[in-house]
Amino acid sequence: MATVAASVLLTPGPPDVDLMQEHGILKRVLLIYQECIERITAMQPPPLAAVHDGAEIIHDFIEGFHEPLEEGYVFPRLQKPGQLKGTVDTLLVQHAKGRELTQSILAASKTGSQSTSSLAPAMTAFVRMYQPHEAREDTVVFPAFRANVTSDELARLARTFLTLQRQQFGPNGFSDYVAKVAEIEQSLGIYELSQFTPTTIP
């Protein structure tokens, strides 16, 4: 087992691939938000615990780790050549707006909160912004980043990303957050993938 662990440490995944995998966590929280929005819109009791736990994942993992990697290592390589300056500028503004929305969601979803009226609008705004945000990064920004760095730089950044993740979250950071997302999905009854398969085709 020690040999396998050492091999993993020595061969981290490409940094852009890691970032896209981390987007998977973000996408699953967006689905959690969407489910909670639908329940609130249907006048059901707000699932405050699920919303709060999802917002904490966004705050800790996406805003506290994933986005700083983009801002510190990916975006500067695209702004210098001037390739995607307008796109990067917009993404940076959206990161800042997202953090504001997350603070609003966290405040409104606290246990015993008396002010939940802003919850659905804040989650709706977050989902609406981050769906195109992450799609643009996956299909435009990360490929451009890959084209602007050498293979040696990619390998060095891969090691840097892995080291930073282990320093911040321990040896199983990504897996731990995937498990946290799954727990929220299970609490809402939306974990089973098969339930989203249509039984009839219109």
- Structural domains for the chain: 14-188 (1.20.120)
Q: pLDDT for 35-79, tens place per residue?
A: 999 999 999 989 999 999 999 999 999 999 999 999 999 999 998
Cα separation, 115 vs 129, in Å, equals 23
Q: Which of 128, 69, 68, 123 lies closest to 101 in space, CA to CA?
A: 123
pTM for this predicted structure: 0.91
Cα separation, 21 vs 92, in Å, equals 20
Q: pLDDT for 133-156, tens place per residue?
A: 999 999 999 999 999 999 999 999
CA dist 189 → 3, 50, 66, 195, 198 (Å): 39, 11, 27, 10, 17
